[in-house]
Structure 1
């Protein structure tokens, strides 16, 4: 216990954690805030199927890009460890590899996106009005796909160099442009749901261009040169691709869960899918805020592992973990006591509001259950131990799917019970892996 208290009281670690976490929390919160603005703008249009179309079309696009989240996570871990070794050449190699992967995967995804979205919408069986609007929204969003994936790599790389202001500048630029154009296109020009999609595309390209410009100052702090001949060898790509493969599988499984929640909600009716979208927006808000601390942990743990500093690793874990727990309690109390205000801000459709209020207790429970998975993800990403992350996610999914099937008779309550159970299982299995690696003193061997 005394060792934990000493770690918590270590002022330099507290400063390092918050120097990284504060900008990342602000930038992360701006992402769901834009989604909330999208929801609020469309939620005040006259029809529930318009709100449902943004939810469904947005989930389809998110399914594409979030499974590509390995571009950020994998890049962060390798960049952080290279920075810990003060290896400027490796930093340049990781940056170029991330950008090449991002653009290449965007082209590949664009080829398959429309047929996959057709199959997904047939599975959902939405109303005709919702189906048409969701397709149009999704197809417009695809024009921003290369920028989105390039930004993932850029944000991960900047964070790995312990530069949290760069990602903050990028995400704030994207989100401020998005919000401004949202209001102009939807309320001013009356473009409706398509206006929301067009605003997002313009904002995504603006953020990617800014990110490229921001890499200059980071590279100046780590002198070195890129050996182009190395990039032509498989050995130079294998570590990054292996980690990215495992994170991809993990992210795909996670997005499958959110997709199934949307599918089941859509089958229960337009009002249900709209209400669930509001509640998931609240969960996203929580996740992005808590991920700010997890992102700080990624950079600090990766740097400590690169420098082989066990004490710095322990201190970073204790400080980030304690603050994550306190923040999750705060979010739980917010949704429990102020959830009605939260829902009221997002929609004035009476049926949607009434249903969302009925399911608010599930949203209040989720931060306390999910916080540990966010925190442990940061540890495993910094250590570039993606295999354990992948396995934990697949185990949690394998256990939660049968439970969800058994609870179908409870309607939307069964859906939310299964979702909470999945998040709890994810945290528990990740914790078991972390404990085993600690007992074996295996973190430095990553």
Structure 2
């Protein structure tokens, strides 16, 4: 097979994986746009503005721990590349335990986080009241959200993006349906939006856990259980993903400054810019679908020592 033919086969394989990732990713901002639509049609726009400022706080709370997804994907992919399924299971369990601990810690400290966060954010008292209602409902989904990061990372690391697509469909469809029920039918406004999202995260967790259990055996869990609570291993997870945390924190801070400055210009401008940010998210999630495919394949090639394919992955599109 010629080099051109090999490259064509490689690109087709990459795009097949990436297309599923892109589709599953796009469901997230599309669901967000529908959330905005429901809240935007309420008689009082303060509910949409309140959700917008509370989302700034949740972006800090959740995406600071985005390494749970990215780190799991990379480390699992490398283990799969080495054909070391036992290590892959251990990595998923360690990250899962860490996600649970962090999620419970968020619940324990939810009140100080709320007070500090809304003290920093700029908004009218009415907007902040709606934001607090949203916060108080959504915060209970913290453990499920962080564990879902790990589940998504696990499936992406094994290039099982179809399962990620299924989980995204379940979570976001449930979110939209519950938004309609809680916001439109029951009139719970911003509190209903938060409760809908939290509930959909737990539904995603239940289905994701069932799918995860189908991919491993009890013997693998039994063999890994002694290493799961290894404190030095958990510490290494933080050390390994330190750069990811810094990068994510900087990105979130930039977006937070935009939203916070918008709120200082008035409730209507904040609501308008919230819609614009949803469109920006649509583009970002599209690009992330390609990035997820690259992460999965790069980890597998690195783990298997296939440097030729790794270079091809990095250079294929640049050399067209």
TM-score, normalising length: structure 2? 0.92
1:12 is aligned to 2:9? yes
Distance in 1, matches of 2:99 and 2:93, equals 10
Given that 1:79 and 1:160 are in contact with CA atoms closer than 8 Å, whether structure 2 keeps it comes out as yes
Q: Which residue of 1 aligns with 2:123?
A: 126
Residue in 2 that maps onto 1:274: 271
8 Å CA contact 2:98–2:234 kept in 1: the answer is no
Once residues 7 and 143 of structure 1 are traced to their aligned partners in structure 2, the CA distance between those partners, rounded to angstroms, is 52
1:309 to 301, 306, 309: 306
Aligned length: 318
Tell me the equivalent position of 1:30. 27
Offset at 1:8? 9.0
Query: Paired residue for 2:257?
Result: 260
Aligned-residue offset at 1:7: 6.8
Normalised by the length of structure 1, the TM-score is 0.67
Distance 2:314 2:191 in 1: 44
Correspondent of 1:64 among 61, 66, 69:
61
Structure 2 distance, partners of 1:22, 1:200, is 25
* Whole-Å separation in 2 of the counterparts to 1:52 and 1:319: 44
1:106-150 deviations in Å (ceiling 9; x for gaps): 111223333233233223331121011100111100111110000
In structure 2, list runs of 5 or more residues that go unmatched. Answer: none
Contact 1:7–1:318 (CA<8 Å) still a contact in 2?
no
Match of 2:223 among 223, 226, 234: 226
Name the CA distance, whole Å, in 2 between partners of 1:321 and 1:33. 30
**Whole-Å Cα distance in 1 between the matches of residues 109 and 234 of structure 2?**
25
Deviates more, 1:231-240 or 1:186-195: 231-240
Distance 1:34 1:104 in 2: 28
Aligned to 2:179: 182
Q: 3-state SS of the aligned residue for 2:187? A: coil
Distance 1:144 1:320, change over 3 A: farther
Partners of 1:226 and 1:164 lie apart in 2 by 27
How many angstroms apart in 2 are the aligned matches of 1:8 and 1:146?
47
Query: Which deviates more from structure 2 when the two are superposed, residues 159-168 or residues 264-273?
Result: 264-273
- Call closer, same or farther: CA 1:53–1:227 in 2, change over 3 Å: closer
Q: Which runs of 5+ in 1 are unaligned?
A: 324-446
